[in-house]
Structure 1
């Protein structure tokens, strides 16, 4: 599993201009089964995505994000093995 830490590097006015396209990209990630959870950070400085699959597939997906294509955000990808999970979330375990 991967934790994707998105950090904005542009003013929110620029982020908001690309947000709708980014959200369509996020929806496609869910439809393709790569993304399993996502949301905005508080305060609004970026977001977090939980993803599964291979690192290569994830990197290819991230390269298509409108936030990356317009250079308004950066990503940090953390690979981890989920060995424990709360009841009902056992499918997240490696």
Structure 2
């Protein structure tokens, strides 16, 4: 499982790339890789909870985000090996 943070580096480019970024997010959900996407408050960027992929796959996927490719955000990927989980999230321990 991975936590990906996307912290703003150059917000000025964001408006023209938003449609591509939104399409990239949709693909992540469609591919059953993204579990949750949300904002880092206050207005600092975004975060993604991802699974069902390898480290190499998530790195490639993150590089495909137009925001990352164009320097709108700086990405950090943290890998987590779940040890305990609420029963509702037990599927993450597989």
Alignment correspondent of 2:47: 48
Superposition TM-score, scaled by structure 1 size:
0.89
TM-score by length of 2: 0.89
- Please, which runs of 5 or more residues in structure 2 have no aligned partner? none
Once residues 30 and 7 of structure 1 are traced to their aligned partners in structure 2, the CA distance between those partners, rounded to angstroms, is: 20
Q: Aligned-pair distance for 1:80?
A: 0.9
* Structure 1 segments unaligned to the other structure (5+ residues): none
TM-align CA RMSD:
1.3
| Cα deviation, residue 62, structure 1 | 0.8
Other-structure match for 1:77: 77
Aligned residues, how many? 93
**Alpha-carbon displacement from aligned partner over 1:29-70 (angstroms, at most 9, x marks no partner):** 111121111111111111101111101111111111010121
* In structure 2, distance between residues paired with 1:74 and 1:35: 18
Counterpart of 2:88? 88
CA distance in 2, matches of 1:48, 1:24: 16
Provide runs of 4+ in structure 1 moved above 3 Å.
Answer: none
- TM-aligned CA deviation for residue 15 of structure 1: 1.7
Higher relative helix content: 2
Please state whether the residue corresponding to 2:7 is helix, strand or coil: strand
